[in-house]
Amino acid sequence: MLAGPFLCLSLHTDLRVPASFSPPATSETVAIRVGRVILRPGEELADGTILIERGVIVAIGKDLSIPQGARVIEGAVACAGFVDPWSGLGLDPASAADLGTSHATRTVDALDPWHLPAERREALLAGVTAARVQAGRSSAFAGIGALVRTSEAAETDVVLEDACLAGSVGISRSGRAPDVFDRIAEVDRLVGALDKGRRYRESQLEFRDELEKWMKAILEKTAELEKDFKKAKKDREKEEKEAKEKGKEFKEKKYKEDKKPRKVRPDPDDEVLARAVEGEIPLVVEVHRASEIRRLLEKTESFDRLRLVIAGGTEALPFAAELVERSIPVILWPAPMGSPRADEYQAHDPALPGELARAGVQVLIGSGGGGESRELRFIAALSVGHGMERAAALAAITTLPAQVFDAGARLGVLERGHSGDVLVFDGDPLDSSANLRFVISRGGVVVQ
């Protein structure tokens, strides 16, 4: 549990599991009528109805016809389910803190549905319907993160198996805080690995190109031989006869085929790095100090397709303009007090999310990589209390995490065709005094 302001905010919510908690019944038709529908931060509908069938939003509007037998839910405000972009739900401590992970390590393989299920249940009670989890969160190369649902009926339901490739730079490991030279060296090693992945992909593309040319040449030669078969047969018979008349040995002319190109030797680590370099999955790097942030931005500038995401970013504000120019999102954990990683967070300013957002940076808010996803709403509310605009704070825990981790077509907004993950409040979602009355996950009412 976080200390200071977080402890005070936590007093507003009851984290005990109520008797009415139940797994989602996705076959149920649900109609949600509220005075204010937050379709997405900054876009709302007054006096609207949300209709969910078979776990998917099928209609949103005014005066919708409600099917007979549908469950009707009423409240003041509805918004999309929260998405925690920096969580450790479902991971045992050994997997979460593993320093031996590599680029190809898959977090989904470490997910344990039976490890502290109460933490995931509490997160769901707090409105967090999905979370990005990451094994080896302090490892230099943490591997492939997973975006998972938090509902009990979906303990092993991975929304996006390959949510991102992750790593960290300058983070205290095994109780030792790296000095500034080690920090810069870690950035260089990370960039060196990315360059290796780029060369690996270039070799793959070169092999494919050479293989295509080789196959084309083989087909052309085959067609040529078939076309001249009769003539070649007569010439062969003539040469064989002449050799026999002269008492010489007849030697068959052999067709020499061009050597087939050699396939690139598969390497799981390089394959994942290549995917990141090509922008197929985002690369999340936890980094805090200005020196290594500067180095990271400089060294990755040549990777045109790389989708870099900074996590932590304690001293990221001086680089806001470049972050905006390069469309680099920042995942923040505004935890100025009670952080278990004081070395990295001792200078963390709770006003940073608002300052970066006002500068135009895409700001995501997470719970810091542990099991405190239940605090996500109140961490966002704390950022609002320190100057962040309410719409920006709500986007930081809904639309932006979904978009950054390639789930924007399913999560983060209330829209037809999206997953039926809806929260119903009796006040504004980021007002700590407002009660969360209903949590709907994939169309099933799991909290009421």
Asked if the structure places residue 195 within a domain, the reply is: yes
107 within some domain:
yes
User: Who has greater pLDDT, 166 or 9?
Assistant: 166
Mind listing the pLDDT tens digit for each residue in 51-92?
999 989 999 999 899 999 899 999 999 999 999 999 988 888
Contact 346, 315 (CB under 8 A): no
- What percent of the chain stands above pLDDT 90? 50
pLDDT of 444 above 90: no
Question: What is the rounded average pLDDT of the residues 357-375?
Answer: 92
Does 414 fall in a domain?
no
Do the Cβ atoms of 219 and 211 come closer than 8 Å? no
Q: Can you give the pLDDT at residue 176?
A: 66
pLDDT band at 389 (very low <50, low <70, confident <90, very high): very high
Q: What is the DSSP pairing of strand 158-168 with strand 141-149?
A: antiparallel
Task: Average the pLDDT over 390-409 and give the result.
Answer: 96
Question: Which DSSP symbol is given to 306?
Answer: -
Q: Give the pLDDT mean for 306-333.
A: 96
Q: Which pLDDT value is given to residue 160?
A: 53
Cβ atoms of 307 and 282 within 8 Å: the answer is: yes
Number of domains in the chain: 1
Tokens (6 digits) for 293:
């942030």
Task: Supply the DSSP string of 350-362, one letter for each residue.
Answer: TTHHHHHHHTT--
How many helices (H) and strands (E) would you count in the chain?
13, 15
Single-letter code of the amino acid located at 305:
R
Provide the strand spans (E) within 118-263.
128-133, 141-149, 158-168
Query: Residue 250, SS3?
Result: coil
Q: Token pair for residue 238? A: 């003539």
Residue 128 in any domain: the answer is yes
Whether the pLDDT of residue 1 is over 50: the answer is no
Cβ 308 vs Cβ 280: under 8 Å = no
pLDDT at 419: 92
* Predicted TM-score of the model (pTM): 0.84
Task: Select from 65, 79, 70 the least CA-distant residue to 34.
Answer: 79
Residue 98, pLDDT above cutoff 50: yes
Q: What is the mean pLDDT of the chain?
A: 83
Give residue-wise pLDDT tens across range 163-173.
898 988 877 77
The domain spanning residue 308 has which CATH number?
3.20.20.140
Confirm whether 232 is domain-assigned: no
Residue 164 domain flag = yes
pLDDT single digits (tens) 400-438: 999 999 999 999 999 999 999 999 999 999 998 999 999
340 versus 319: which is more confidently predicted?
Answer: 319
Tell me the per-residue pLDDT of 242-265, one tens digit each, with 9 for 90 and over.
666 666 665 655 555 567 777 878
CA quadruple 154, 400, 163, 347: dihedral sign:
negative
Query: From CA 442, how far away is CA 376, in angstroms rounded?
Result: 20
Would you say residue 211 has pLDDT above 80? Answer: no
Q: Report the pLDDT value the prediction gives residue 46, as an integer from 0 to 100.
A: 96
In a domain, 41, yes or no: no
Q: What is the pLDDT at residue 224?
A: 65
Q: How confident is the model at residue 139 (pLDDT cuts 50, 70, 90)?
A: confident
**Could you tell me the strand order of the sheet in which 283-287 lies?**
82-87, 128-133, 141-149, 158-168, 283-287, 308-312, 330-332, 363-365
Tens digit of pLDDT for each residue in 14-41?
Answer: 333 343 444 444 568 999 999 999 999 9
* DSSP 8-state symbol, 254: P
Domain range spanning residue 357? 82-201+270-407
- Closest alpha carbon to 423 in 73, 27, 59, 61: 73
Given a cut of 50, whether residue 279 has pLDDT beyond it is yes
Residue 61 lies in a domain: no
Q: Exposed, middle or buried by CB within 10 Å (0-12, 13-18, 19+), for 189?
A: middle
